[in-house]
Structure 1
Amino acid sequence: MTDDSIEKQHVVEIENVSLRTDRGGLVFRDLNLTIDSGQTVIVSGASGSGKTLLAELLVGLRSVESGRVRLFGHEVRRRRKRILRRIRRQIGGVGGPFGLLPLLTVAENITLPLVLVGERRKLQQERLLRMLSEFSLLKLAGKYPPNLTRVESSLVQFARASIASQPLMIIDEPLAGLDPSTYCRVTEYLIKVAVSGRSLLILVSDLPSTNIPDAISLRLEDGELV
């Protein structure tokens, strides 16, 4: 099955999902969420409410206790490695489970999504230069993640999440710890992604004043989205 055959209408479908932590605490109780193609959903919640666990659930790092999770028409299950690889290649991520690989340079981290799908080397380099320029990372291309500041690391992750224009972007706390200038740049970028036709899931502690067009805002409380 080729990527062209992946169902596009419902990008994310979470149906009646319950999930417990490794210690047995209930995180989600009959959780339901649908994100359609081109839709932006902002989920806010207090620290410890399960926002990062939601991101981990969507990329197959967590198994549900009950219910079902589907991305691009495919059910997400940890044991279905081949399907998981295909699903993950359709997702650009920032924060949470989407950290940078410490043994790869900034340039190598950014181009990784293109490498994984076998994109031509020339196109990889063309897009890399565009991302490095767009996110002001040209001087950091040869550095390794452990030597980056938190803000620099965030910008590298945004560049990596943008280079392949995957249909779904999941962003966990995109504005945390940013200086005012970078905050403005990131909010402008989020608006750009939202109107590009890509689906966008933003996970935040507090609702940002980003004015993203047609964004749906939900609150994660007591294991449910309200």
Structure 2
Amino acid sequence: MIEMHDVYKTYDNGVVALNGISVKINKGEFVYVVGPSGAGKTTLIKLMYRQERATKGQIVVNNMNVTSISDQKVPLLRRQLGVVYQDFKLLPKLTVYENIAFALEVTEAEPKVIRQRVIDVLKKVGLTKKAKHLPQELSGGEQQRVAIARAIVNKPAVIIADEPTGNLDPETSWGIMDLLEQINRDGTTIVMATHNKDIVNTMRRRVIAVDHGKIVRDEYGGDYGYEN
């Protein structure tokens, strides 16, 4: 599903963010990527959806070689992925329905297909009654649910989440995690970068710890392992 072989990432300013990363994530897994600030975990997940390009090495995501595809084929890669951000990245002038539908419109899906899929995911994330609201009319947790709905509306094989609970209070965070768990049970692979010690320690999934650009721990049923 996701494979990295001897991956390096050095930025233009000389900072080495990743230093020889090799890892395999199988279909249907739920994986936490943890580590101190500046350890390289955000770079690691950005490479998966080609937000950043590796300096060296090979990355394969859902049978696509991410390191060698042209820029023109990046949208094709991202149609197979759903990305969830800490700051939601919703379009402020579009309603909840329109924000989710936009992810399908760019793939030129039929209007009938768009309508049915948007209705389905709104129900899944519990926001059917908020379809006509604008993002600023929603709570932080509701906005993140919209972001998740947008990420799953294309029925992606993989969800990549970068600190999806980072701006949320503890109770709301657990609601988001319950939703991600449900999506994972449906068969979607989830890779989530997080600083949330309580979530990692409670849910006990696979934990990949990154420090100084290297994987220092890869443990099934692992704990967070750092002091916040």
The two structures have a TM-score, normalised by structure 2, of 0.81
CA gap of 1:80–1:103, structure 2 versus 1, over 3 A, is farther
The alignment covers a number of residue pairs equal to: 214
1:186 to 176, 179, 182: 176
What corresponds to 2:209 in structure 1? 219
Q: How far apart, in 1, do the equivalents of 2:73 and 2:187 lie?
A: 24
What corresponds to 1:197 in structure 2? 187
The CA deviation string for residues 12-62 of structure 1, in whole angstroms up to 9 with x for no partner, is 111111112342211100011211221221111122222222222112121
2:154 to 149, 164, 168: 164
Q: Which runs of 5+ in 1 are unaligned?
A: 1-10
CA gap of 1:51–1:90, structure 2 versus 1, over 3 A, is same
The CA deviation string for residues 66-119 of structure 1, in whole angstroms up to 9 with x for no partner, is 111121222214870232121100001101697334454332221233223333
Q: Which runs of 5+ in 2 are unaligned?
A: 218-228
What corresponds to 1:24 in structure 2? 14
1:40-189 equivalence runs, <5 A: 40-77=30-67, 80-95=70-85, 99-138=89-128, 140-145=130-135, 149-189=139-179
CA gap of 1:32–1:104, structure 2 versus 1, over 3 A, is farther
Amino acid at match of 2:50: G
Q: RMSD across aligned C-alpha pairs, in angstroms? A: 2.5
Query: Does the 8 Å CA contact 2:141/2:173 hold for their aligned counterparts?
Result: no
Offset of residue 175 of structure 1: 2.0
Offset of residue 120 of structure 1: 2.5
Q: How far apart, in 2, do the equivalents of 1:105 and 1:33 lie?
A: 39
Q: How far apart, in 1, do the equivalents of 2:83 and 2:175 lie?
A: 17
The CA deviation string for residues 121-157 of structure 1, in whole angstroms up to 9 with x for no partner, is 1232222223334434345434544665543332211
Offset of residue 189 of structure 1: 1.3
CA gap of 1:145–1:51, structure 2 versus 1, over 3 A, is farther
What corresponds to 2:222 in structure 1? none
Q: SS at the partner of 2:24?
A: strand
Q: How far apart, in 2, do the equivalents of 1:178 and 1:97 lie?
A: 10
Q: SS at the partner of 1:63?
A: coil
Q: How far apart, in 1, do the equivalents of 2:63 and 2:144 lie?
A: 30
Query: Does the 8 Å CA contact 2:84/2:160 hold for their aligned counterparts?
Result: yes
CA gap of 1:65–1:180, structure 2 versus 1, over 3 A, is closer
CA gap of 1:22–1:149, structure 2 versus 1, over 3 A, is farther
Correspondence 1:15 to 2:15: no
Identical residues among aligned pairs (%)? 28
Amino acid at match of 2:7: V
Query: Does the 8 Å CA contact 2:86/2:164 hold for their aligned counterparts?
Result: no
Amino acid at match of 1:30: G
Q: How far apart, in 1, do the equivalents of 2:78 and 2:88 lie?
A: 11
Q: How far apart, in 2, do the equivalents of 1:103 and 1:129 lie?
A: 20
Q: SS at the partner of 1:42?
A: strand
Query: Does the 8 Å CA contact 1:191/1:210 hold for their aligned counterparts?
Result: no
